[in-house]
Amino acid sequence: AEVAPGAVHVPGWLSPARQRELVEACREWARGPVPLRHTRLPRGGVMSVRTVCVGWHWQPYRYTRTADDVNGARVVGFPGWLAELGRDALTAAYGDPGAGDGSGRPYAPDTALVNFYDGAARMGMHQDKDERSGAPVVSLSIGDTCVFRFGNTGNRGRPYTDVELASGDLFVFGGASRFAYHGVPGVRPGTADPALGLAGRLNVTLRETGLRD
Ligand code: MD3
Ligand code: FE
């Protein structure tokens, strides 16, 4: 369903088997070289979600290859299968694996942000504008259902639309929606299938940083 121009929600896109594989990959990334942790903000705040990055490390508010704000380790490499998953996601949402910048080149995500939400975690309304690319962001939700708030491009307040994101849901944000404000006001604890073996919610976002070493 197209929620706004360029914002496409595909409920249940990931099969249960693919969800389990992604949970396993996230567990591995969470072990290191950079651990899953609460990101510290420059003004002293601490995010309630826990995050680990793949390919490029996001430290507020830039991408680096080493986690200078955590333990200084080099971020884990971005696997080819994850870029392929990103192209499959764009094909499912838009019918085309292209980056959508008019060049005809395929989408080539080079970073993934893995966010883990326990029952108390939230994410305030923000824009994602640290990437030097207008290519879409691919979001994959696994585990507990959350309320996702999709806003406008002008300010963090109304108008916005609340959408529930459940395990296996794909959401792609491109075109006019790429720089929209968005956030997660809360999760619904205990809504995940117990067979998944995950207490909480995982969100994996794929992006193009537009950076080169
Ligand atoms: C709309 N993550 O990592 S995913 C983030 O569920 C982030 O963890 C949330 O916001 C989460 O930055 C929301 C949906 C999402 C992700 C990126 C977007 C929506 C977006 C970028 C542009 C517009
Ligand atoms: Fe975001």
Residues belonging to the chain:
213
CATH number of 63's domain: 2.60.120.590
Q: What is the pLDDT of residues 30-89, one digit of tens each?
A: 999 999 999 999 999 999 999 999 999 999 999 999 999 999 999 999 999 999 999 999
Distance CA 80, CA 123 (A): 29
Q: Is residue 148 part of a domain?
A: yes
Return the best residue to mutate from 9, 38, 123, 133 for the ligand 1 pocket (most ligand atoms within 8 A of CB).
Answer: 123
Q: Is residue 212 part of a domain?
A: no
Q: Say if CB 50 and CB 203 are below 8 A apart.
A: no
Q: Is residue 194 part of a domain?
A: yes
- pLDDT for 198: 96
Q: Is residue 142 part of a domain?
A: yes
Q: What is the pLDDT of residues 150-187, one digit of tens each?
A: 999 999 999 999 999 999 999 999 999 999 999 999 99
Cβ-count burial 75-92 (b if 16+ within 10 Å, e if not): bbebeeebbebbbebbee
What is the predicted ipTM? 0.97
Which atom of ligand 1 approaches the CA of 126 most closely? 10
Give yes or no for residue 115 CB within 6 A of ligand 1: yes
Q: Is residue 213 part of a domain?
A: no
Which of helix, strand or coil describes residue 115?
strand
Which range of residues forms the domain containing residue 199?
A: 2-207
* Total number of domains in the chain: 1
Q: Say if CB 206 and CB 112 are below 8 A apart.
A: yes
Question: Cα of 74 to ligand 1 centre, how many Å?
Answer: 24
Which residue's CA is the nearest one to ligand 1's atom 7?
Answer: 183
Q: Is residue 162 part of a domain?
A: yes
Q: Is residue 60 part of a domain?
A: yes
Q: What is the pLDDT of residues 90-149, one digit of tens each?
A: 999 999 999 999 899 999 999 999 999 999 999 999 999 999 999 999 999 999 999 999
